[in-house]
A = this chain, B = another copy of it.
Amino acid sequence: MPISVLDIAELIGAKIIGDSNIKVTYLSEIHKVEEGSLMFVDNEKYYSQSIYSAASAIIIDKVVDCPEDKVLLIVDNPFEAYNLLAIHYSPFIAIMSNVSPTAIIGSNTVLEPGVVVGNHVTIGDNCLVRANTVLLDNTKIGNNVIIHANSSIGNDAFYMKKQKDGSYNRWHSIGRVIIEDNVEIGACCTIDKGVSGDTIIGEGTKLDNSVHVGHGVVIGKHCLLAAQVGIAGKTIIQDFVTIYGQVGISKALVVGEGATILAKAGVPKSIPGGNKEYVGIPAGESRSKFREMVAIRQLPDLIKKVNEIYSAIFKNKSNIDK
């Protein structure tokens, strides 16, 4: 629903620079803005990225030069202003009954005992939600989805803003979790909603137990995620990716289509797909990583050998392990 920047400026006490007649449609994070977006920036490092982004209006703590079509909303604390708007337009409402009266549940869908369904959750047909799983507000689930026991879907994003005194303020999340058709989610999984966009689990993807999916993560179709995998916020996992147990994937990166990530790997940056296989911390292509692992086993002997050589050619210098 488009909202006038005049109304917004009044709500957050901002001074408007630019056309005060425009309307905005989305509250957006800097990662993902489009025409109609209202975003905020409070760090000079990101001023220029923000001003030349597609966003229509920007909450900012300083008057800066900017393209004519942008509207600036000047406030002292842009983060607080943004958060106030998020809470105003998408207020938190506690879940008051096991199945919220605002939830929509498809035909032939079974909710086992202890399942809690939050406000405005929708679940498709032929789904099975096993005992004691919690589906939090605005979660949207397709058809033929199975969610095992004790999982929590649609938790608030773990997205904290550090204050000057070192304490943290939570960023109010307004995104959702969207689970497409034929997905299966294990027991004790945690899937957080997006801060401004949605967290998406693509069609046919299967998650084992105790998998953590951070805010705004987008997982493609027909992926396999084994137990205890963790994926940090805003990361994109493309289609047909296989991730073995206890892998950790850092935030805001891309795992390419068809990639395989072996158990316990830690992925710190984007990796291409195309049937490549990765392993290690930090993860690399498995062929070279396995070669390194073999080499490490030879390392104690190598050190001895180098010392032997060193003694032979520089007789008067001392060795490494002395």
| Interface SS majority for chain A | loop
A146 contacts across to B, CB distance below 8 A: 156
Q: Is the CB–CB distance between B132 and A113 below 8 Å? A: no
Q: What is the CA–CA distance of A306 and B305 in the complex, to the nearest angstrom? A: 8
Q: What is the CA–CA distance of A291 and B112 in the complex, to the nearest angstrom? A: 52
A151 part of interface (Cβ distance < 8 Å): yes
Q: Can you offer 21 A-B residue contacts whose CB atoms are under 8 A? A: A96-B113, A114-B132, A114-B134, A116-B149, A130-B155, A150-B152, A150-B190, A158-B208, A160-B206, A167-B221, A168-B222, A170-B184, A188-B189, A210-B212, A230-B245, A246-B266, A248-B263, A296-B296, A301-B320, A302-B320, A305-B310
CB distance from A31 to the nearest CB of B (A): 18
A2 part of interface (Cβ distance < 8 Å): no
Copies in the complex: 3
A288 contacts across to B, CB distance below 8 A: 297, 300
CB distance from A269 to the nearest CB of B (A): 12
Q: Is the CB–CB distance between B148 and A222 below 8 Å? A: no
A204 part of interface (Cβ distance < 8 Å): yes
A264 part of interface (Cβ distance < 8 Å): yes
Q: Is the CB–CB distance between B298 and A320 below 8 Å? A: yes
Q: What is the CA–CA distance of A204 and B160 in the complex, to the nearest angstrom? A: 11
